[in-house]
Structure 1
Amino acid sequence: MREFENPNHWDTAAHHYQKTAHPFTARYAEAALARTSLGPGSRVLDIAAGTGALALAAARTGAQVLATDFSPGMVACITAAGLHNVEARTMDGQALALPDGEFDAVFSIFGVIMFPDWRKGLAEMARVTRPGGHGIVATWQERGAATFLLLGDIRRKLFPGREGMAMPEAVGALSDPENFAREMIVAGYRDPRIERVTHDYELNVAALDDPDRLFGMSPDWTSLNDGEKATVITEVRQRAGDRPILPIPSTALIGVAQR
């Protein structure tokens, strides 16, 4: 089992994820929401919800939201938000314990792409979407985003030929918009639209003083020895120059399709 497929890994990382990744992924969640029409009375499902970037944003439209994740630690973070129209449950997105056609909109923001059987995850999304409802999926492009993207780029420059972090299979498969659209159709959706959305991840250069906290979730970092880590930090500082913030342009693909 790869680390990102283990719920215990995400339980341990939940609060760190909430502080660091959540504010960034929330920007893509808002972009996904902008491609649908929700309001009071809408029934929304967020699969592999993490700490709830999409679920909490959807709740602000007045929709009734169910957020699911296989990590109890992530689910606890959503529950702690205390919103009356958000319910959070621990659940496997590859085998949802939910009836067919239950939801007007079903989202997975960088979630289903992490599943061992991601095609089953897409099919489950379609199964629980009502006829005429929408499925919305966000995936990163092939080399990832934010600090993962930066580290991969630096590793290829400093250590050419050395194997880097293996991305989840779905990230590679869905990086091509035509393939992405085709997989949504196979899952049970129709008329998919795939759009690119880019935001800058703003890396605070001061955070390099504690690089293990900044980069510690990436195997591209943890697989380095101390000397190699120091070389990477020097490279990041050189890229930043005199700037206190180093922007890392990160592109996602957002697919929207109808059931």
Structure 2
Amino acid sequence: METTTPQFDAAKYKNTTRDQWQSAAEAWYRWSDTLHQWLGPATEKMLEMAGITTGQRVLDVAAGAGEQSITAAKRVGSSGYVLATDISSNILEYAQKMAEQAEVKNIETKVMDGENLTVHDENFDAVISRVGLIYFPDQQKALKEMLRVLKPGGKVAAIVYSTPDKNKFFSVPVSIIRTRAKLPPPLSGQPGPFSLGAEGVIEKAFLQAGFKNVQAERINSPLRLSSAAECVRFEKESFGALHQMLSGLPDAEKESVWEEIEMELKQFESERGFEGPCEMIVAVGEKI
């Protein structure tokens, strides 16, 4: 009797991802200060490598609650423009709220699928994406769309996680959940947090999509919080992917899993608090 190899369902995955971010939007906004402290250095490197400067038009793909969109908007100034896009309408409402609170007026938000950008060709000087590209079912399609909307001479820059061993604040919970929920290995073609992290993988992806002058830099980005318990609270409230992995377990067992995660993450506590290992890769490519 033949056995059929399970196939990755990209459409189902995308719908689930949208639902996750619709639910996690408020928490992602609420943790924006933590996100800024954690991802600030990598974000500054991304904007620098993208060559973002006064007067430019910038597209932010998978913008989330827009903290990095606001940073970009301040760089381009009142003569520039930032379009923050995401698959989740809820999270973009918080991006707009953050922009209003920061009194930044050169940002617009629009619900948009990063694999099907509904903007004209050659319309932006730069495209950025912070920890978003890793979750696209068709990463090549997303990169080619970014290339399409970029003006000649413009650059695309993206931040992704490197490898699990360098990101134990995240890979430890993923490993525990996978074991406790008896989840099979990821299906072929399935995106995920570490899908572009191995040596040379993101550079190859950019080159395959048609970018030139591709470069990548690794940025040490430790997640600093008061305790392992606070890290668990951050991930429990904000990381939709972990909830998707836990969805098949009864509620009582879910709590037990979070307790196990907290115990394992305590290895990163000291008298200075919690410092979760994290390494980001910032990659850039140019349209010639």
Q: Please indicate, yes or no, whether the TM-score normalized by the shorter chain is above 0.5.
A: yes
Distance 2:40 2:228 in 1: 23
1:205 touches 1:244 (CA, 8 Å); kept in 2? no
1:25 touches 1:53 (CA, 8 Å); kept in 2? no
1:19 partnered with 2:35: no
Deviation at 1:221, TM superposition (A): 6.2
1:106 touches 1:129 (CA, 8 Å); kept in 2? yes
Tell me the amino acid that sits aligned with residue 103 of structure 1: F
Distance 1:181 1:108 in 2: 15
SS in 2 for 1:169: coil
Say which of 107, 112, 121 aligns to 1:91: 112
Tell me the amino acid that sits aligned with residue 232 of structure 1: I
Structure-2 change in CA distance of 1:191 and 1:8 (3 Å): same
Q: Which residue of 1 aligns with 2:83?
A: 66
1:118 touches 1:170 (CA, 8 Å); kept in 2? no
Could you list the per-position Cα deviations for residues 147-204 of structure 1 after superposition, in whole angstroms to 9, with x for gaps in the alignment? 4234246679xx69x6588595365552234232221122121110011111110132
Q: Which residue of 2 aligns with 1:250?
A: 278
1:41 partnered with 2:58: no
Tell me the amino acid that sits aligned with residue 9 of structure 1: Q
1:234 partnered with 2:245: no
1:76 partnered with 2:76: no
Structure-2 change in CA distance of 1:233 and 1:249 (3 Å): closer
Of residues 171-180 and 210-219 in structure 1, the stretch that sits farther from structure 2 once superposed is 210-219
1:8 partnered with 2:19: yes
Q: Which residue of 2 aligns with 1:169?
A: 191
1:195 touches 1:255 (CA, 8 Å); kept in 2? yes
Q: Which residue of 2 aligns with 1:54?
A: 68
1:137 partnered with 2:158: yes
Tell me the amino acid that sits aligned with residue 65 of structure 1: V
Tell me the amino acid that sits aligned with residue 261 of structure 2: V
Write out aligned runs for 1:104-119 (5 A): 104-119=125-140
Distance 2:185 2:18 in 1: 19
SS in 2 for 1:122: helix
Distance 2:195 2:268 in 1: 32
* Structure 2, unpaired ranges of 5+: 1-11
Distance 2:185 2:28 in 1: 19
* Structure 1, unpaired ranges of 5+: none
Which structure's relative contact order is higher, taking Cα pairs within 8 Å and 6+ residues apart?
2
Structure-2 change in CA distance of 1:225 and 1:101 (3 Å): closer
Of residues 173-182 and 35-44 in structure 1, the stretch that sits farther from structure 2 once superposed is 173-182
Could you list the per-position Cα deviations for residues 202-222 of structure 1 after superposition, in whole angstroms to 9, with x for gaps in the alignment? 1321745x9566435324666
Q: Which residue of 2 aligns with 1:193?
A: 215
Distance 1:18 1:94 in 2: 24
Of residues 86-95 and 136-145 in structure 1, the stretch that sits farther from structure 2 once superposed is 136-145
Q: CA RMSD in A?
A: 3.1
| TM-score with structure 1 setting the length | 0.84
Structure-2 change in CA distance of 1:105 and 1:211 (3 Å): closer
Distance 1:146 1:51 in 2: 24
| TM-score with structure 2 setting the length | 0.76
SS in 2 for 1:39: coil
